[in-house]
Amino acid sequence: MTAPHPLDRPVWSMLTGRQAHLAEGDARAVRIDRGYGVFGVAADTGDAAQAALAALVPGDGEIWIVEGEPWVVPPGTREVKRAVLAQMVAEGPPPALRDGEPAILALGDEDAPEMAALADHAKPGPWGPKTHRYGPFFGIRENGRLLAMAGQRILVLGMAEVSGVATWEDCRGRGLARALIGHVMRAMVARGETPFLHSYADNAGAIALYESLGFRIRREVHVLAIAK
């Protein structure tokens, strides 16, 4: 019998594996530290696990469930939204550094307010006060202003997710996202990890960019956001 792939249930793989230190809950269901984001996951579709997941939903917020198959709304919660994502995995070597690419800087706690403002503008995915601490984040500045950023989020065995890719609208079309994603990918591969990412399945422009950088669609995954 073939073992399940860690990306079939990415949040479960994340919060019961390499990033278990960020998890709240127990063997039935876990959610990520609220400072980092909104991801949660049940062990299975059984009543006990579903009830445990529902109990982790904050009264004033949401939990986002990311699964290989559509998930049933747990009793005691309501559906806020659903979406379909294209899960993409990098094939072959990462893109080489190109001539003329802008200088890329490491970002840290001192950059967090600017990163949060950029995330609020560009909506690269759920963003919380600690999201920038998921792992290495990088940015491009011009005259002191943070124009664009990218980093990592989900870590599973042998793989790391490119995430938080965001550019101010007036700075788009300059190849900033391409340069940052390439930088993040090279750092991951240097650590012996295969890059992967998630994109909304209907975002043809983003998917085309990712394909040009060596990513290929592995499968669709489903997002369900729930609240009390």
pLDDT at 1 over 70: no
Alpha-carbon distance of 152 to 162, in angstroms, equals: 5
Query: pLDDT tens for residues 206-217?
Result: 999 999 999 999
pLDDT at 107 over 70: yes
User: What is the rounded average pLDDT for all residues in the chain?
Assistant: 96
Phi, psi of 39, rounded to the nearest 5 degrees: -75, 140
Query: pLDDT tens for residues 58-76?
Result: 999 999 999 999 999 999 9
Question: Which of 100, 117, 106 minimizes the C-alpha distance to 176?
Answer: 100
Alpha-carbon distance of 27 to 174, in angstroms, equals: 46
The model's pTM: 0.94
Query: pLDDT tens for residues 127-166?
Result: 999 999 998 999 999 999 999 999 999 999 999 999 999 9
Alpha-carbon distance of 103 to 118, in angstroms, equals: 19
Q: Please, which pLDDT band fits residue 3 given cuts at 50, 70 and 90?
A: confident
Find the farthest-apart pair of alpha carbons in the chain and give their distance in angstroms, rounded.
56
Containing 212, the helix (H) or strand (E) segment is helix 204-212
Alpha-carbon distance of 206 to 227, in angstroms, equals: 29
Alpha-carbon distance of 124 to 101, in angstroms, equals: 22
